[in-house]
Amino acid sequence: MTKNLRVKSSEYIDETNRISFKFNGKTYHGFKGDTLASALLANDVHLVGRSFKYHRPRGIMTSGSEEPNAIVQVNPGTNRTEPNVRATEVEIYEGLEASSQNCWPSVEFDIGGINNFLSPFFPAGFYYKTFMWPASFWEKYEFFIRHSAGLGKSPTSSDPDIYDHRNVHCDVLVVGAGISGILAAKYAAKNNFKTLIVDEKNELGGSTIFENNEFNKIDNKTPSEWLKKEIEELKGIKNLEIKTRTSVAAYHQYNYLLARENLTDHLETKDKTNKIRQRLLKIRAKKVILATGALERPLIFNNNDRPGIMLSSAIKRYSEFYGVACGSKNIFFTNNDSAYESALSLYNKGIHVEAVIDIRDQSESKIVKKVEEAGIKIYWSHTIVDTAGYKRLNSVSIMKLSNDGTSVTGSKISISCDCLGVAGGWTPAVHLYTQSGSKLKFDEEKQIFLPNQNTSEQISVGSCGGDFKIDEIIKNLNQKLKDKLNIKETNLDNIKVEIDQENSKRNIWLLPSDIPLGKTKPFVDFQNDATAKDIKLALREGFRSIEHVKRYTTTGMGTDQGKLGNMHALGIIADTAGVKMGELGTTTFRPPYTPLTFGTIVGRNVGKFFDIFRKTPMNDWHVENKAEFENVGQWKRAWYYPINGENMHQAVQRESKAARESAGILDASTLGKIDIQGSDASEFLNRIYTNAWSKLAIGKCRYGLMLNEDGMVYDDGVTTRLGENHYLMTTTTGGAANVLGKLEDYLQTEWPELDVYLTSVTDHYATASLCGPNSKKILKKIISNLDLSDESFPHMSFKEAKIGNIQCRIMRISFTGEHSYEINVQASYGKDLWEKCMEAGKEFNITPYGTETMHLLRAEKGFIIVGQDTDGTMTPIDLQMDWIISKKKYDFIGKRSLYRSDTMREDRKQLVGLLTDDPNIVLEEGAQIVSELNQNPVEMLGHVTSSYFSPNLNKSIALAVVRGGKDMMGKKLFVPMENKNINVTIANPVFYDEKNERLNA
Amino acid sequence: MFLINCPYCGERDQQEFKAGGEAHIERPKQPTELSDDEWAEYLFMRKNIKGVQFERWNHAHGCRKWFNMVRDTSNDEIKAIYKMGEKPPSQ
Ligand SMILES: [Zn+2]
């Protein structure tokens, strides 16, 4: 039976609502309002995990999001399981289960604990040093490291919860709802600023809400009483939104902040269903008021990590807020007055405090006197030199500290205890402040980093701004609000504050022991098991930059980003290296402040919304007819249409033959389409394409190649002149958006004098490409009144027509080398058009074909695909397309670059055809081409860009880029593969119908 | 995440915009008259300043207009925004 350490009812704990939960398989009880940490402590459970490297037993250290040790797996084995959750932040509910991480087989008996005894062999940089070589051993090392590491388990089935994103705009965002945040929000909202205040906890009030120190008074009330009234008032103010359980994860430039609002994590499982679990708030605030408070520092001494050693402020919160005693025999260890508040809080609740160990030699404050009067022994000028107790602290050893604080003297006193509260002073929580790009300055007197140079409209108030005493907080807050928000007067002007607290503090970053440092374990980063020893070792090994020491020792690199120990790491480095803290600088705090779930980050963009696809108007038909799809840019395109169990090769061979022998139909709707209008449209095309456009007659089409300014092929497509000042350009499917962007760029920035307007019409038209010797007959059946004779409607021309009442644009153009038509209708008629073509083509065995057949058919003709046969390093000359470069035009984009010495090199890679000596071997795209097999290293001449088995030629064909290939016609080369060398011959890239006779067939 | 004041639309989130590199590099009017070195200077050479830099931006997912921005690349402070063709503010 475990002890019950519930001491006194607290207004934040509902003792009428008893909750049972499981931790490491054992059932415990707590109350509504408890966190997992407070409920475990109430059951006298301190041991909750094992440390990362040495697997040392670790307990709950804090009461908030800075917790380094009490990291648990919530609801293990379920699809809602979550690793790396801080027990100090989990609100318990009926049925909650949690388990320790980083231990096997159990937290009580952990195999990895052997590392603790092997620790002399695990110094800083151990992993770097040991696992570096031989490289071939890495797989074994990785297996070992992964099995002994194990920071939690990720869920194995999909997340049942809903996540959400919301954009929030406000005048003032207040981060943190302690005393300063509450007052800031109150006056901001009252002065007509639309205000949002967020706090990561479920209750407002920060630590002042349980500040019952009788020596501190605001308007003659205890700070706790006074603040409660303020909070009551806050709830009625319009213009003000309050969000609890909301943690700001990131503070980016221009006052853009990301916050995670937790909506259901505290609810019972049955109440979580169909609700939004977490919401990411994307906040744009005109002004930000940071009231993020301060984190208590631990003290760094030998064996300072045992379960039962906690922050003094956490002990106070557990006692005052949760009504839980963390131990029955308590000791405090401090360098300032705040431990005495915790001691008194326990004393007032009847919990035994054995002693206070203070490294200072005295303090004059009333609270210290009060502790003395209570009969609690104070050891002045003493330090802890060691602690004992493996799974729970059972005693501490203390010695007298030398005057300079570097050594200990006298005899050792051992004091038994089961809980030790350490108080090392306070570190302003400036994490968000620095994330915003603002700069800190080190205050040598207070030994803290403080906000110095703000980069955006923001202020830091309260203890995160360096004000720790209530009178200072209120006075400075009042002034900052008046300055920043232009407020004339506030009720804070005449407020009466009495305080009792001495500033006196003695800062020693690493406390000495009678045992040599090499044999001690003074932990600096509890989560990553980095000790003061490791930091000193890093310095001895030559590391100087704080960022390097951090990475080498892994200090501050855990999921808690070293919130507790970073300052000590800096202090130890500064002391050892003999430099000032201010000169050392800090490490960078990176978002998120506390870890975010993947669910929160992706929000609703999961499943089919993860990456949105574009579909053509004919898509349903393709689906109904069992097409296989491929992704092209954002589009889903029909790839091939298998029938009777065909594989891809069989389907493509059939489709390719049908298109050449009778009729094929392709959904070409995805091609980019840009409508170009204006009196300078022809001139514009002259400048952007390599060929000439002015003389293109109305109703005619022309193929164009577009270059980058560096002379490399960028895009291609057919453009049709619809009218005197009206063109319709087509682009590649993937290039549409970029081409439009590029054209706009030139129009707006280089040639604003041109009268040209560009409109993307890609989505406005559906396009069916009808091809093959019977395409004309099929089109005739659909549109009987159109003259399709070669005289009236020749290759590379355009006609407007009507199919029934549907207006359509028909281009007689061909990407396959066959007689073909591209029929464009308004997108909404796309499927109708397609079905009409299929119906009319039935008697000709019309065959739908997909992108794979399209690629094969064009390869038979040697037509390039930009992005497949080109890669951003190919000029039109490299492609042997010299014919498309106008010799007459003075200028076009990329022209000058075609005459650079590099682009004129004879030995550039050039596009050629490639035939295998064995016609049945199909080359692999991307395969390398060489001329010598016995060279070492072998010289690569080029590679295969397109390769297919052509059913129409009954042999394999390929396109390739080969160095100097233009002049190598007929040359024998090799394609070396893993198991064989393939003999190939350079050929004309036009493999089929070289004379283009089929266009008019 | 910048808040960018598009001269045509007003303040919008950075994700609506595309950066377009250094500003005020005019395309030569007569490229064919230039030597390889002169053309390479236009084509490849950019300053990439740490500090105040003049750059082009495009409201790609908005009005599609290009405009100029003066930005301190060391702290991302946007010092000025002005339309294409307008005189840059003096430094
Ligand atoms: Zn705009």
Interface membership of A364 toward B (CB under 8 Å): no
- Specify the 3-state DSSP secondary structure of A843: helix
The C-alpha angle B66, B68, B72, rounded to 5 degrees, equals 140
Interface membership of A252 toward B (CB under 8 Å): yes
Host H or E run for residue A123: none
Measured distance CA(A763)–CA(A460) in Å, rounded: 50
The C-alpha angle A955, A958, A962, rounded to 5 degrees, equals 145
Measured distance CA(A103)–CA(A441) in Å, rounded: 41
Measured distance CA(A870)–CA(A881) in Å, rounded: 13
- Token pair belonging to A377: 């022994």
In a domain, B91, yes or no: no
pLDDT at A118: 63
Measured distance CA(B37)–CA(A716) in Å, rounded: 29
The model's pTM is 0.89
CB A703 within 8 A of CB A729: no
Measured distance CA(A453)–CA(A129) in Å, rounded: 40
Q: At what angle do helices A546-553 and A566-577 cross, to 10 degrees?
A: 120
Host H or E run for residue A546: helix A546-553
CA A220 to chain centre: 49
Which has more confidence, A785 or B90?
A: A785
Chain A residues within 8 A of B32 when measuring between CB atoms = 890-891, 895-896, 899
Host H or E run for residue A128: helix A126-130
Question: For chain B, what is the domain count?
Answer: 1
Measured distance CA(A175)–CA(A178) in Å, rounded: 9
Host H or E run for residue A130: helix A126-130
- The 8-class DSSP code of residue A6 comes to B
Measured CA distances, A553 to A32, A508, A529, A557, A917 (Å) = 41, 21, 9, 9, 61
User: Pick from A656, A348, A398, A347: which is nearest to A512 by CA?
Assistant: A398
Of B1, B43, B84, the CB nearest to A709: B43
Distance A665 CA to ligand 1 centre (A): 41
User: Pick from A316, A317, A343: which is nearest to A329 by CA?
Assistant: A343
Of B13, B31, B84, the CB nearest to A895: B31
Selected residues 418-447 of chain A with any CB under 8 Å from a CB in chain B: 437
Chain B residues within 8 A of A255 when measuring between CB atoms = 3
Chain A residues within 8 A of B34 when measuring between CB atoms = 896
In a domain, B88, yes or no: no
pLDDT at A1: 41
Token pair 């016995």 is found at A934
Token pair 């027990």 is found at A87
Distance B59 CA to ligand 1 centre (A): 5
What is the domain class of A905-1000 according to CATH?
Answer: mainly beta
Of A284, A749, A901, the CB nearest to B84: A749
Chain B residues within 8 A of A756 when measuring between CB atoms = none
In a domain, B21, yes or no: yes
User: Are B64 and A744 inside 8 Å of each other by CB?
Assistant: yes
Alpha-carbon dihedral A923, A925, A931, A934, rounded to 10 degrees: -80
User: Pick from A510, A595, A579: which is nearest to A83 by CA?
Assistant: A595
CATH for A508-579 is: 1.10.10.1100
Q: What is the torsional sign of CA A387, A393, A394, A396?
A: positive
Q: Per 3-state DSSP, what percentage of chain A is helix, strand, and coil (rounded to 5)?
A: 25, 30, 45
- DSSP string spanning B16-66? G-EEEEES--PPPS-GGGS-HHHHHHHHH-----SSEEEEEEE-TTTT--E
User: Pick from A45, A8, A87, A39: which is nearest to A308 by CA?
Assistant: A45
Interface membership of A710 toward B (CB under 8 Å): yes
Chain B residues within 8 A of A749 when measuring between CB atoms = 56, 66, 84
Percent of chain B residues past pLDDT 70, beyond the cut: 99
**Around B11, how many Cα atoms within 13 Å sit in the side-chain half-sphere?**
9
pLDDT digits (tens, 9 = 90+) for A163-216: 999 999 999 999 999 999 999 999 999 999 999 999 999 999 999 999 888 889
pLDDT at A766: 98
Q: List chain A residues with pLDDT less than 50.
A: 1
Please give the CATH topology (third level) of the domain spanning A611-898.
Gyrase A; domain 2 (3.30.1360)
User: Are A891 and B77 inside 8 Å of each other by CB?
Assistant: no
Residue in chain A closest to B26 (alpha carbons) equals A750
In a domain, B63, yes or no: yes
CA A382 to chain centre: 47
CB B47 within 8 A of CB B21: no
pLDDT digits (tens, 9 = 90+) for A32-67: 999 999 999 999 999 998 887 788 899 999 999 999
- Token pair belonging to A873: 């390093």
Q: Which amino acid, residue A315?
A: I
- Token pair belonging to A174: 């207040």
CB A310 within 8 A of CB A421: yes
Residue in chain A closest to B27 (alpha carbons) equals A750
Please give the CATH topology (third level) of the domain spanning A1-155.
Ubiquitin-like (UB roll) (3.10.20)
Q: Which domain holds residue B16?
A: 3-83
Measured distance CA(A910)–CA(A964) in Å, rounded: 6
Residue in chain A closest to B31 (alpha carbons) equals A896
pLDDT at A140: 60
pLDDT at A134: 57
- DSSP string spanning A416-440? E-SEEEEE--EEE--HHHHHTT-EE
Phi-psi region of A930 (alpha: psi -120 to 50; beta: other; left: phi over 0): beta
User: Are B1 and A750 inside 8 Å of each other by CB?
Assistant: no
Of A437, A455, A752, the CB nearest to B84: A752
Chain A residues within 8 A of B39 when measuring between CB atoms = 896-897, 900
CATH (domain of B14): 3.30.2270.10
The C-alpha angle A611, A616, A622, rounded to 5 degrees, equals 100
- Token pair belonging to A835: 């079905």
Distance A669 CA to ligand 1 centre (A): 29
In a domain, B89, yes or no: no
In a domain, B69, yes or no: yes
Of B66, B75, B84, the CB nearest to A437: B75
Chain B residues within 8 A of A284 when measuring between CB atoms = 3, 13
Measured distance CA(A294)–CA(A859) in Å, rounded: 68
Distance B82 CA to ligand 1 centre (A): 12
Token pair 């295998």 is found at A916
- Token pair belonging to A533: 């020893």
Secondary structure (H, E, C), A562-581: CCCCHHHHHHHHHHHHCCCH
Interface membership of B90 toward A (CB under 8 Å): no
Chain A residues within 8 A of B18 when measuring between CB atoms = 741
Interface membership of A888 toward B (CB under 8 Å): no
CB A558 within 8 A of CB A525: yes
For A279, other C-beta atoms within 10 Å of its C-beta total 19
Q: Mind telling me how many Å the CA of B60 is from chain A's nearest CA?
A: 8
The domains of chain A are located at: 1-155, 162-294+428-498, 508-579, 611-898, 905-1000
Measured distance CA(A451)–CA(A439) in Å, rounded: 6
- DSSP string spanning A694-713? TTPPTTBEEEEEEE-TTS-E
Distance B24 CA to ligand 1 centre (A): 20
Chain A residues within 8 A of B2 when measuring between CB atoms = 253-254
**Partners of A541 in beta bridges:** none
Measured distance CA(A198)–CA(A246) in Å, rounded: 6
CATH homologous superfamily of domain A162-294+428-498? FAD/NAD(P)-binding domain (3.50.50.60)
**Around A313, how many Cα atoms within 13 Å sit in the side-chain half-sphere?**
25
Measured distance CA(A952)–CA(A654) in Å, rounded: 10
Q: Mind telling me how many Å the CA of A901 is from chain B's nearest CA?
A: 8
Selected residues 30-89 of chain B with any CB under 8 Å from a CB in chain A: 30-32, 34, 36, 39-40, 43, 56, 58, 60, 64-66, 75-77, 84-85
